[in-house]
Every structure is written in structure tokens, then in C-alpha cells.
């Protein structure tokens, strides 16, 4: 979503702000702006579109040198992307950048109009900027004015503010939207996310809610609402600058797919004790029911989790879209478990669902990739996936490691409730740790072949993914990946459901991707394959040699992608379900190459944001 950077120090602020904005580009945005504090007051420059356009504007009329400023990338919520709606929003006294949504902005605007304020943009942020301005006029104190304003505001926000009368200082505050503060050799920074500070320092302070940070060239100070100074622990980023860079890959998405084998090994390895999954610190007893709650790709990992947990351990498991969860009045009991999945740990819908579950008195467990994120901090228990930073908007490696954690949990539950022998559990665990990453690596090695196949779909407008059982879960993710980055419209369908209506859309111009990795269901999916083939569909089948052999006759299709089938002597049937891992990597690569071949901005698809911090 939106990005915030602020710098004050010995160096010129503008290059630091632009570099910071570029580092935050991956979050998704549609306009950008900066405000600099100098001898002549505050200079604000904003532009709709990419940061390049902002830079062009700055070249045409360069602002006077400044050592303190704030910058923002905006992802439009209130008001269309435009120069006027872009941040920072300025008044005669200050300039402010904002991430989040002010829910009561209309009320605030109406009140401020009564004090003579006028409004020029369509944003909720302008109300916040003018509210701080209003209190500043009364108090002449930046910290007090920020606190007074936030006391009034409802919603989520992270603010960075500079005041004309206090050059060299930046003020920051947040509620339900992340913000960090950092010291570096030549000054201090605020940022909404770690990549923006990484070129300068790996140490940072996580700003607590409703705490004001005041930073200048030499210091970072924190104040509570009572005006008392707070001392915060400094944290250290556990990833390097190179992890946040493309390192020679054309796109972050491809780099992150290629990182999957390592991410899987790390995530699985970290959860093992004596070669078995260890969830002692996380699950005390077998829940009567598990509710997996998440959004988008994470929710699709939840579908896989449901399949594996129910197949391995027979523990009833529901999957719910987080944005729907609390509005459906879910039936929750204290002996159940609500399991939140989130790469970022900042997704507003997932956070709201977590709070709903906690209020209902159900134990909560979060599987999260970003350490210390809001979901991680608020859940009763947390299990970290070790995927490293995921920068591309389209989630890939995070999905794979979420599935790996869920597979481990399924093994653990199955062992605990006697559905699996220790020998079987050991065999499956070893398979997850070694054969799965190896097979994923082999699929990555097939990238060029998948590219050739994907390029055949460059002119496609609509496409179906079909599969049964776990293959149907994979179709959901394959389809989302394709549509979000290539803009090819696609639908995922249970192979047996197509004939109940949707098959009327299948023609020789609507190709079909059939996912057939589960031997036990492939024969059934074959009927669906024949049905679409006989309606003229161009058909690509994602399968394994094992499935081909088990069918005993060739699959009637135009092209195939054959991925390695996962095997394990101790538990062959359940191990084969883990073919999901190489299969999803193939689907991710297919989507990636289809989008790249269309010449699209793969890492930053239109209208999308990396972490969706608004409801």
C-alpha cells in the first residue's frame, strides 16, 4: 500500500527520500510526493504516476537544498490518483504524509470548516493535516498538536509530519499501520517498511501505537500521551540489502520463486526436533475444529492446509476469507483454534479477524513471515515462516512456506491423534525437508520450457484452470497468480463442476489448464479434460509421470508440463499429495512468464499493493 519515508540529518534530504521511495515502490502506488523543510518554509512537489515523473518535475524546478523532509507513495483509497490527492498534504504551518484510512474524516472536515478551513483534495488525509494544523495554532507545540489530533481521529494511520517553524525535526505517530524509526551515521529516518532504511542501517525502533517520535540530525526521542519520554528497545533487521535487491534477476518475482527451495528447507528445518515436527510451544491439545482465516494467496494456502489437515489428521478444518469472517458471525468455541495466515502480518482484514476471534475467546495462532508485525504481536501464539523478505506484489515463496508449515502441522496432529505412525510421520517429515525442495528446484530448472508454453497464451483473454481435490486448491492459486500479474482473466473450477453451467463459456478461444497431480483423482479429472477438449479448448495439462502411468492411456491434450511426483516409501499415498509444491512452482512460473512476455510490470501489477493495510 502507501509508503512513508522521512529523513533529517547532515546529508541532502532529497536523494535519501527518492531512494527510500524507490525501495518502497514494491508496496504498490499510483502517485508520489515529497516535502522539504528549508529556509523559505516548506516546498512540496507531487506527481500522479511513477516516481520517475516526480523526479522529472523535481529536475524541471529543483527545490532549494534541504536537510529534512518527508516522502510518500500513495495507493488511492479516497479520491482518484492525481497530483492534488497525492501526499504530502500541506498547510501554512506543516506538511503531512499518511498511510491508512481516517474513518471519521467527513466529521473532522465539517468541524474544521466551522473554523474557516477549506478543502481542496478528495482525500481523508487532508482532514488529518488540517486537524494537526488546527491544534498547532492553539498549542504552538508539535507533539501536543499531533496527540490532540490523533485523539480525535478514528481509523488507521501512520503519519510523518514536518513543521515550518521547526526545521530539522520530523514528528511521527501511528495506530494500526506500521512505522519504524531509525538512527544512521548521518541522521535519523522514519519509514513504513524496512527496505527504505536498509541502505543506511539495520537497526531500528518499532514505533508503538499512540506514541510520538521526534527525530532530528542527532537524536530519536519517543513520547507517550502523558508527555513522558519513553525508552524503546532497538531491533536489528535479520536480512541484508542484497535480499531486498533483484541480484541480477529481471524481476523480484522470479528471484523469489527461485528462492523457494531454500525457504522451504529453512522453514521446515526450524520446526523439527529429532526429525519430527515440534509444535509443543504452539499447540497444547488437538483443537476440535480449526478455522483458517486469511486473504488472497494466503487464503489459498489455507485451502491446502484444510486438505492436508483433514486428510492426514481428520481434524475438521474450515477456511474463511478474512474480510468475510467477522461479518458472518462465525460459530466459535474455546476448544477450537483460529489460525491466521499472513505473509506481511499487516493485512487489515486478517488483523480484524484476529481481533474478532480473540474477543470471542478462541485461541489464536498466526503463521506470519514478517517478524514483529501486527498479526504476529497480537495473536496468542506465532509461528514464523522463514521465507525472507518478499518484495514482488505477487506472493510466491510465502505461499510455499505457508503450505509447508501447514503440512508439518498436519503431520504433528496426525501423530498426536494416532492417525499416523511415528515411522510414517518421520518419512513424511524427511520428504518435506529434502525431496520437496529438490523437486521444486527441478521445476525451477524447467523455467525456460515453461516460458515457451506460457508465451503461447500471450494473446489469450480468458482461461480456465480445472482440477479435483488438492489440484482444485492449486488451481485457485494458479488462477489468481495469472490474473493478478498478466491481466488475463481466468477462473479456477472444480473439474467436475464445469459441466454444471460454466462449460458453456469454453470455446476454441478459451484455453484450459488442467492440473492433474493426484493419481487417485486424475482418472475423474480426465472426464472434465475430455469434455473441454471436445469443445475445442486448447488444453495444457500439468501432471506427473506417475499420473500418466496410472491412467494407462495418453491424456488428450495439446501440451503438458510434467513435474516430479513426490514419493515416500513409508507413506506413499499422503506423500504424493506433497507434489503440490513442485506443481505450484510450475503454475507460478507459468503466470510469471505469461506476464513478462506481455511486457508488463510483473513486480508491481496495476491497482495492487503488497500489504493491504485498509479494510
Positions in the binding site for ligand F6R (CB under 6 A) = 295-298, 342-344, 347, 350, 394-395, 484, 611-612
Other residues' Cβ atoms within 10 Å of the Cβ of residue 521: 19
Size of the chain, expressed as the number of residues it contains:
615
CB atoms within 10 A of CB 156: 22
Residue number with the smallest Cβ distance to ligand F6R: 296
- Please state whether beta strands 512-516 and 462-467 pair in parallel, antiparallel, or not at all (unpaired): parallel
CB of 484 to ligand F6R, least distance (A): 6
- Contact at 8 Å (CB) between 613 and 1? yes
Query: What residues does 411 pair with on adjacent strands?
Result: none
From 557, 587, 541, select the one nearest 447 (Cα to Cα): 587
Question: Is residue 471 within a helix (H) or strand (E), and if so which, with residue range?
Answer: helix 470-486
- CA-based nearest residue to 207, from 244, 176, 169, 168: 176
**In this complex, which beta carbon is closest to ligand F6R, that of residue 84 or of residue 600?**
600
Return the SS3 of 523.
Answer: helix
Task: Give the torsion through C-alpha atoms of 400, 402, 407, 410, to 10 deg.
Answer: -160
Please give the full DSSP string across 325-337, using - where no structure is assigned.
HGGG-----TTSE
Annotated catalytic, 610?
A: yes
Contact by Cβ (8 Å): 321, 350:
no
Cβ 387 to ligand F6R, closest distance in Å?
11
Q: Which of 130, 483, 533, 610 is catalytic?
A: 610
State the catalytic residue, choosing from 2, 37, 320, 405.
2
Give the separation between CA 127 and CA 120, rounded to whole angstroms.
10
Q: Please, what is the minimum distance in Å from the beta carbon of residue 294 to ligand F6R?
A: 6
Using H for helix, E for strand and C for coil, what is the string for 362-401?
Answer: CCEEEEECCCCCHHHHHCCEEEECCCCCCCCCCCCHHHHH
Q: Provide the minimum distance between the beta carbon of 481 and ligand F6R in the complex, in angstroms, as a whole number.
A: 6
- Residue closer to ligand F6R, measured from CB, 260 or 484: 484
DSSP of 563-612, one letter per residue? PPPP--TTSHHHHHHTTHHHHHHHHHHHHHHHHHHTT--TTS-TT--SS-
Which residue's CB is nearer to ligand F6R, number 89 or number 593? Answer: 593
The three cell numbers locating residue 433? 525437508
The question of whether 320 is a catalytic residue gets the answer no
- Which of residues 213 and 476 has its CB atom nearest to ligand F6R in the complex? 476
Nearer to ligand F6R, 342 or 490 (CB): 342
Please name the residues in contact with 318: beta carbons below 8 A apart, sequence gap of 6 or more: 289, 290, 291, 292, 306
Q: Which is nearer to ligand F6R, 322 or 568 (CB)?
A: 322
Least distance CB 579 / ligand F6R (angstroms):
22
When the beta carbons of 101 and 166 are compared against ligand F6R, the nearer one is 101
Q: Cβ closer to ligand F6R: 150 or 343?
A: 343
Least distance in angstroms from the C-beta of 475 to ligand F6R: 15
337 beta partners: 290
CA–CA separation, 85 and 125 (whole Å)? 9
Contact (CB, 8 A) for 517 and 565:
yes
Distance CA 12, CA 497 (A): 61
Tell me the CA end-to-end span of the chain in Å, nearest whole number: 12
Q: List residues with catalytic annotation.
A: 2, 610
Amino acid at each position: 500500500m502507501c509508503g512513508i519515508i522521512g529523513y533529517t540529518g547532515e546529508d541532502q534530504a532529497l536523494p535519501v527520500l527518492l531512494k527510500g521511495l524507490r525501495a518502497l515502490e514494491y508496496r504498490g502506488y499510483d502517485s508520489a510526493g515529497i516535502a522539504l523543510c528549508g529556509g523559505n518554509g516548506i516546498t512540496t512537489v507531487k506527481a500522479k504516476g511513477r516516481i520517475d515523473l516526480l523526479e522529472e518535475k523535481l529536475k524541471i524546478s529543483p527545490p532549494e537544498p534541504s536537510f529534512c523532509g518527508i516522502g510518500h507513495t500513495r495507493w488511492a483509497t479516497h479520491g482518484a490518483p492525481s497530483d492534488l490527492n497525492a501526499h504530502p498534504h500541506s498547510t501554512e504551518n506543516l506538511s503531512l504524509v499518511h498511510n491508512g484510512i481516517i474513518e471519521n474524516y467527513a466529521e473532522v472536515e465539517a468541524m474544521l470548516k466551522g473554523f474557516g478551513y477549506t478543502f481542496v483534495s478528495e482525500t481523508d488525509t487532508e482532514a488529518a493535516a488540517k486537524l494537526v494544523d488546527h491544534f498547532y495554532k492553539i498549542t504552538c507545540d508539535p507533539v501536543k498538536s499531533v496527540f490532540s489530533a490523533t485523539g480525535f481521529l478514528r481509523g488507521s494511520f501512520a503519519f510523518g509530519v514536518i513543521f515550518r517553524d521547526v526545521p530539522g525535526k520530523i514528528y511521527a505517530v501511528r495506530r494500526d499501520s506500521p512505522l519504524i524509526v531509525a538512527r544512521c551515521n548521518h541522521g535519523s529516518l522514519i519509514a513504513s517498511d524496512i527496505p527504505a532504511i536498509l541502505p543506511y542501517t539495520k537497526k531500528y525502533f518499532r514505533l508503538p501505537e499512540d506514541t510520538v517520535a521526534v527525530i532530528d540530525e542527532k537524536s530519536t526521542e519517543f513520547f507517550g500521551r502523558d508527555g513522558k519520554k519513553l525508552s524503546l528497545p532497538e531491533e536489528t533487521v535479520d536480512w541484508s540489502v542484497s535480499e531486498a535487491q533483484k541480484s541480477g534477476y529481471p524481476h523480484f518475482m522470479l528471484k523469489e520463486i527461485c528462492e523457494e527451495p531454500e525457504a522451504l528447507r529453512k522453514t521446515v528445518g526450524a520446526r523439527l526436533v529429532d526429525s519430527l515436527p515440534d509444535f509443543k510451544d504452539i499447540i497444547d491439545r488437538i483443537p476440535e475444529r480449526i478455522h483458517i482465516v486469511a486473504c488472497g494467496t494466503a487464503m489459498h494456502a489455507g485451502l491446502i492446509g484444510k486438505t492436508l489437515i483433514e486428510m492426514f489428521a481428520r481434524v475438521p478444518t474450515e477456511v474463511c476469507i478474512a474480510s468475510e469472517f467477522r461479518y458472518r458471525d462465525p460459530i466459535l468455541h474455546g476448544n477450537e483454534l483460529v489460525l491466521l495466515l499472513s505473509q506481511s502480518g499487516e493485512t487489515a482484514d486478517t488483523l480484524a479477524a484476529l481481533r474478532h476471534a480473540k474477543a470471542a475467546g478462541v485461541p489464536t495462532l498466526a503463521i506470519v513471515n514478517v517478524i514483529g508485525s501486527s498479526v504476529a504481536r497480537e495473536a496468542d501464539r506465532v509461528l514464523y515462516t522463514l521465507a525472507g523478505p518478499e518484495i514482488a506484489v505477487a506472493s510466491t515463496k510465502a505461499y510455499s512456506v505457508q503450505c509447508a508449515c501447514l503440512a508439518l502441522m498436519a503431520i504433528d496432529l496426525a501423530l498426536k491423534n494416532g492417525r499416523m505412525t511415528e515411522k510414517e510421520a518421520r518419512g513424511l517429515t524427511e520428504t518435506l525437508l529434502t525431496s520437496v525442495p529438490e523437486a521444486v528446484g527441478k521445476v525451477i530448472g524447467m523455467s525456460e520450457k515453461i516460458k515457451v508454453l506460457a508465451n503461447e497464451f500471450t494473446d489469450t483473454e480468458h482461461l480456465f484452470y480445472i482440477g479435483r481435490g488438492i489440484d482444485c486448491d492449486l488451481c485457485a492459486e494458479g488462477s489468481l497468480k495469472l490474473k493478478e500479474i498478466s491481466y488475463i482473466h481466468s477462473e479456477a473450477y472444480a473439474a467436475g463442476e464445469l459441466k454444471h453451467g460454466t462449460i458453456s463459456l469454453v470455446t476454441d478461444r478459451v484455453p484450459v489448464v488442467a492440473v492433474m497431480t493426484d493419481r487417485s483423482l486424475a482418472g475423474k479429472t480426465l472426464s472434465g479434460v475430455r469434455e473441454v477438449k471436445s469443445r475445442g479448448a486448447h488444453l495444457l495439462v500439468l501432471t506427473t509421470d506417475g499420473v500418466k502411468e496410472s491412467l494407462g492411456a495418453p491424456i488428450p491434450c495439446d501440451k503438458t508440463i510434467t513435474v516430479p511426483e513426490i514419493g515416500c516409501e513409508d507413506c506413499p499415498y499422503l506423500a504424493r499429495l506433497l507434489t503440490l509444491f513442485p506443481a505450484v512452482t510450475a503454475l507460478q512460473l507459468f503466470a510469471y512468464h505469461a506476464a513478462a512476455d506481455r511486457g508488463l510490470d510483473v513486480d508491481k501489477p496495476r491497482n495492487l499493493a503488497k500489504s493491504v493495510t485498509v479494510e
